[in-house]
Structure 1
């Protein structure tokens, strides 16, 4: 099956979520939450990330994670990740309880495409304080793709991780997972990058983007938002409507995409120094806000 066929299938089977100009979504991907070891790229930004999603929770946003939220190539078990970043999952649980949590699986958490695996590992967790299993995300579903469909103008926003356009990270993901666990994780600790990742291989990034752009061009310039490559992207109106929310493992910052008031914005959260030397976490708009209708295919 070609990358174009995989993208077609993801679009056809995508979960459809109605929205309007009063809806608010925050899109993050590629958090790669790990075990808090030296190989855990997320650990460096976890305080920034927690502060950001707490802001979005308080502001009434729906949280959409579009793949690679959990690092399940380097780590064998979700329980290890939960233990390392329990406060993050407790906050995500609040989104879930209020029906404001949407999750998409990527290549590094591709095991979540199996509902039985998700039910076994994410429904509950063991609480040593009470010596019992307590709910975490009971009945949660991970999707391959989501379509946000505007109630009034019927504009679709296609959300997916993007590895559908990357053969070895979709079809051959088990081979790459093996290589990462056995070879690249130990080398990552000493600073050697994993060449299987498009995030660390510019040529692979270009190939992935080119394939998805080809699909967009043959589907009436369908507005599409991906992650996977870790490279933020925000096109101008009139260009091919491929957006990328970046990642949560940039050096000392995270990037994401906000959809609010019928507009789309690429944002960054980072640590900044104030005039008196105090460190604080701030939100910085990088591109936009731009009206979604500027990318309308009609």
Structure 2
């Protein structure tokens, strides 16, 4: 437990600080696990939902914060294969980046992104077969371990990080875990056998991770904290320990995320629905909130 607290403390100390006020709007997604469009690519089932939702947020002027595990770089060795599979998604993310509305946090499945040299080598450009040239993608982009949203008026801090700091196996031994996923669990995943080391598929481990982070939050004077990693959406009520979780983008047939708008926070779901005429459509469903951020502010 104490080691996880030290890791969270370090992430907090080195977090990127973004100032905001009630006029700013953010959408938080995590755990997209974008893959190569193979049978093991869990994101592929929801990519149209995700793209539609992200297009909506871009049009409405939201800033996009991805809280880790955006790319599945345990099962896949190459970003190029992932880019080819979901090129339209990355070009939309590039649109966010070009107007300074894209903020990225690395998780355990894309932990290689904490290496700026790796990011520069693999994410700066992409090859366009039509022109035969390299085209800018995320040139000079930086991934962070954590982000602090600091409200200009109230001075309230919102701490955003992936959450695997409280999961020693997936933080300290992430390379060994990655090896097991690539060699063992990826082929088994295709057959429907879940990886027991993943907290998203191991309820007991999930509870332990949440408990460790809650204890850290109490130590930090009830700091409002938003994580991913476990894939379990969380939306505490005012007065409870303020640990939020945006869920994931690999739920069966839906994605979940957290919106921050007008000084309030909400948990939302996007899914495919049908009209009475049988027409398929993608819809946004409010699950929890909106709740004023100030209701979670500690004295």
TM-score (norm: length of structure 2) = 0.99
Aligned to 1:259: 260
Aligned to 1:129: 130
After superposition, the C-alpha distances for 1:7-49 in whole angstroms (9 at most, x for unaligned) are 0000011000000000000000000000000000000000000
1:187-226 correspondence to structure 2 within 5 Å? 187-226=188-227
1:153-232 correspondence to structure 2 within 5 Å? 153-232=154-233
CA distance in 1, matches of 2:281, 2:197: 35
Aligned to 2:113: 112
1:91-102 correspondence to structure 2 within 5 Å? 91-102=92-103
After superposition, the C-alpha distances for 1:124-183 in whole angstroms (9 at most, x for unaligned) are 011111111110000000000000000011000000000000001000000110000000
Aligned to 2:34: 33
CA distance in 1, matches of 2:13, 2:189: 38
Aligned to 2:62: 61
CA distance in 1, matches of 2:298, 2:95: 36
CA distance in 1, matches of 2:229, 2:262: 26
Provide the secondary structure at the position in 2 that maps to 1:99.
Answer: coil
Provide the secondary structure at the position in 2 that maps to 1:2.
Answer: helix
CA distance in 2, matches of 1:196, 1:47: 29
1:67-86 correspondence to structure 2 within 5 Å? 67-86=68-87
CA distance in 1, matches of 2:128, 2:197: 37
1:145-160 correspondence to structure 2 within 5 Å? 145-160=146-161
Deviation at 1:196?
1.1
Aligned to 1:268: 269
Deviation at 1:262?
0.1
TM-score (norm: length of structure 1) = 0.99
CA distance in 2, matches of 1:127, 1:208: 42
Deviation at 1:273?
1.1
Aligned to 1:293: 294
Provide the secondary structure at the position in 1 that maps to 2:249.
Answer: coil
Count of paired positions: 298
Runs of 4+ in structure 1 over 3 Å off:
none
Provide the secondary structure at the position in 2 that maps to 1:270.
Answer: strand
Q: Over aligned residue pairs, what C-alpha RMSD do you find?
A: 0.6
CA distance in 1, matches of 2:279, 2:135: 39
Aligned to 1:284: 285
Provide the secondary structure at the position in 2 that maps to 1:199.
Answer: helix
CA distance in 2, matches of 1:118, 1:110: 11
CA distance in 2, matches of 1:13, 1:90: 29
Provide the secondary structure at the position in 2 that maps to 1:10.
Answer: helix
Gaps of 5+ in 1: none
